[in-house]
Amino acid sequence: MTSSPTRTQVGIVGAGPAGLLLSHLLHLRGISSVVLERRSRAYVEQRVRAGVLEQGTVDTLVAAGVGERLRREGLPHHGIELRYDGRGRRIAFEELVPGRAITVYGQQEVVKDLIAARLEAGGDIRFGVEDVALHDLEGEPYLTFDGGRLDCDVIAGCDGFHGVSRPSVPEGVLTLHEREYPFAWLGVLARVAPSSEELIYSRTERGFALHSMRTPEISRFYLQVPPDATPEEWPDERVWAELRARLETVPGFTLATGEILEKSVTPMRGFVAEPMQYGRLFLAGDAAHIVPPTGAKGLNLAVADVRVLAEALDRFFATGSADLLDGYSRACLGRVWRAQHFSWWMTTLLHTFDSDDAYGRRLQVSHLDYVTSSRAAATTLAENYVGLS
């Protein structure tokens, strides 16, 4: 038996950071929404993803009233280290982009904060919803799902790269830009205090490695691995041996080890769907674009998208004007392509592409020397990393 149709102003598909933050920003503007999520609440709250928040993302969450725990538990960073050729060079944000920084705070923690805020405010988040489908996107849109129907004025597709929203757009409407990289990242979460106060991006002949963290007691690491690698191929002993080989490349640095809590493999790709809208459907976050994680832009782009979309929807419902909604895609894509370029640049600068390409390796080292010795080049990296205005 299906339930009676319900109605809301904005139907949101996906309870990741994009969908939840959009719902909360709309609530603050007096706009109703319903969030439909295929996974359980426990799953989305424990799903380990990115953990580097740009200055603008932090400011948005704080201004929206969901930044109390972020301010208390997040780890502000004022620089990163580029490690290569037996040297470590720091990119000092406090000198290059004064007043701006990044904060390390896990995406799952952002999700927990947003779910708590929405439920406290009486928000309608429906977990475990199966068979979601989008209908009549150019007319009077509505969503159907196992057990119900949701009529709405607008649909926000925030359900990720593999979600149902983008495929609901008729074939030929969207232009899909893609780039596949010839490697993946093995992500490792470990119960061990970080061995560095700041993130370390390490380029070696063996491949790339990243030393990151989640809390003062939990560290996060990434290793460049073949694109078809599986976590089972990487027992704990092999993980630690390879991390030591790629990170203990400067005098005096010793990598602390501990219990490995989780391993996963992330493919490296760039993807953009243009435009990010069709009729009354608006795509946000990974549903519209994917970046390789080297530049730490994925979550931050999602936040930037829904900031723009929330403002456009506010204008639409308050005045009836669709001018900002019509310009949503154009307003977002400038930042999206800038983040694509920065992520591509960081990826090509730090990863091993061909073991026989000595020429390419020398170009990488030369460019790293330039970035770490030129204030202008270092400023370009810093301002993109902490987030453009």
Task: Give the CB-side neighbour count of residue 35, counting CA atoms within 13 A.
Answer: 28
- Cα 72–78–79 angle (5° rounding)? 135
Whole-number Å distance between alpha carbons of 133 and 156: 13
Could you read off the pLDDT of 119-171 as tens digits, one per residue?
999 999 999 999 999 999 999 999 999 979 999 999 999 999 999 999 999 99
Residue 301 lies in a domain: yes
pLDDT at residue 3 is higher than 60? no
Which run of H or of E encompasses 310? Answer: helix 298-319
Q: Which amino acid is at 61?
A: L
Q: What is the pLDDT of residue 355?
A: 74
pLDDT at residue 91 is higher than 60? yes
Whole-number Å distance between alpha carbons of 361 and 365: 6
Backbone angles phi, psi at 33, to 5 degrees: -155, 160
What is the set of active-site residues? 77, 201, 293, 297, 385
**Are 107 and 248 found together in one domain?**
no
Whole-number Å distance between alpha carbons of 146 and 217: 42
Query: Would you place residue 51 in the very low, low, confident or very high pLDDT band (cuts 50, 70, 90)?
Result: confident
What is the share, in percent, of the chain residues with pLDDT greater than 90?
95
Could you read off the pLDDT of 282-306 as tens digits, one per residue?
999 999 999 999 999 999 999 999 9
**Are 32 and 149 found together in one domain?**
yes
Q: What is the pLDDT of residue 361?
A: 92
Decide if 262 contacts 153 (C-beta within 8 A).
no
Q: Can you give the residue range of the structural domain that contains 30?
A: 6-78+101-178+269-345
Neighbour tally for 281: CB within 10 Å: 22
Residue 94 lies in a domain: no
Q: What is the pLDDT of residue 47?
A: 81
Residue 320 maps to which CATH number?
Answer: 3.50.50.60
**What angle do the packed helices 107-120 and 17-28 form, to 10 degrees?**
40
**Are 186 and 244 found together in one domain?**
yes
Residue 95 lies in a domain: no
Residue 93 lies in a domain: no
Which run of H or of E encompasses 52? Answer: strand 52-53
**Are 262 and 273 found together in one domain?**
no
Q: What is the pLDDT of residue 5?
A: 54
Residue 258 maps to which CATH number?
Answer: 3.30.9.10
